[in-house]
């Protein structure tokens, strides 16, 4: 004869208490981390121009600020970026930016750094987002392992001639900072194209795979081994 175990009131209370505690963690941890990250970013940005503003206020208006004013550096940096963007969109502003670009690009070594940073900035923040042609899966860093990447511009002719086969340039970003990445050249036969917008792929990379876009026009294929093999066979048959 089997005796059924009847939960005692103490057991029910402990189970409910555990559930309440876990629910509280699920609610408070994301909120707390978000507030902490925003607070740290605010302090970092606020400290960029804070000391400079204090000196300018003291020199121009003769006001001696003895205690720091929270948010003053952040507000100043925001207004500086905003005013720079407004000025750069005007006719004379565009001319000044063009002149500045020409001057900087003639300086050895600095021109290479400036040009690279400028291209990356335009790719992520500007109007040249089409630099990321397609979202793909690539076998990286070794066979059997797959990472999300983006097909970028055509490889240089010297690279094509050196490898002697049809290759593609793939930018393989890091998690959670996609602005840091590897530029890898793959044979086209090893690259699997995904039906996934670049924005969705970036969201997946930044979140470390823990979150997905809430609004999608259609569900995307899951990144399973079977689906990857199916996509490879489809790509090789075309």
Domains of the chain, by residue range, sit at 132-212+222-237
- pLDDT at site 130: 60
Q: Judge if the upstream peptide bond of residue 141 is cis by omega within 30 degrees of 0.
A: yes
Cα 201 from Cα 216, distance rounded (Å): 12
Residue of 180 and 192 predicted with greater confidence: 192
Helices (H), the chain: 9-61, 72-89, 91-104, 110-124, 157-163, 198-206, 225-237
pLDDT tens sequence across 135-163: 999 998 888 889 999 988 788 888 888 88
Helix axes 110-124 and 91-104, enclosed angle (nearest 10): 140
Asked whether the whole model's pTM tops 0.75, one would answer no
pLDDT tens sequence across 191-238: 999 988 888 888 888 887 777 655 454 444 444 555 555 655 555 555
Tokens describing residue 101: 């670009």
Residue 185 β-bridge partners: 169
Segment among 71-85, 98-112, 115-129, 159-173 with least mean pLDDT: 115-129
Cα 195 from Cα 201, distance rounded (Å): 10
Asked whether 75 and 69 are in contact (CB, 8 A), the reply is no
Segment among 40-44, 107-111, 196-200, 212-216 with least mean pLDDT: 212-216
């Amino acid at each position: 004869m089997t005796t059924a175990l009847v939960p005692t009131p103490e057991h029910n209370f402990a189970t409910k208490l555990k559930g309440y505690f876990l629910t509280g963690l699920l609610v408070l941890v994301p909120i707390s981390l978000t507030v902490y990250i925003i607070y740290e970013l605010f302090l970092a940005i606020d400290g960029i121009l804070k000391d400079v503003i204090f000196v300018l206020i003291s020199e121009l208006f003769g006001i001696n600020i003895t205690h720091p004013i929270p948010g003053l550096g952040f507000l100043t940096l925001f207004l500086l970026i905003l005013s720079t963007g407004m000025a750069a969109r005007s006719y004379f502003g565009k001319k000044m930016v063009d002149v500045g670009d020409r001057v900087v690009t003639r300086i050895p070594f600095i021109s290479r750094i400036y040009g690279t940073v400028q291209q990356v900035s335009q790719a992520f923040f500007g109007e040249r987002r089409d630099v990321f042609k397609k979202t793909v899966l690539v076998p990286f860093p070794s066979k059997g392992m797959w990472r999300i990447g983006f097909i970028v511009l055509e490889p240089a002719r010297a690279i094509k001639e050196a490898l002697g086969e049809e290759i593609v340039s793939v930018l393989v970003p890091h998690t959670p900072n996609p602005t840091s990445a590897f530029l890898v050249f793959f044979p086209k036969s090893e690259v699997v194209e995904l039906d996934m917008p670049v924005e969705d792929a970036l969201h997946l990379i930044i979140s470390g795979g823990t979150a997905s876009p809430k609004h999608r026009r259609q569900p995307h294929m899951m990144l399973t081994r079977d689906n990857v093999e199916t996509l490879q066979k489809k790509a090789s048959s075309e």
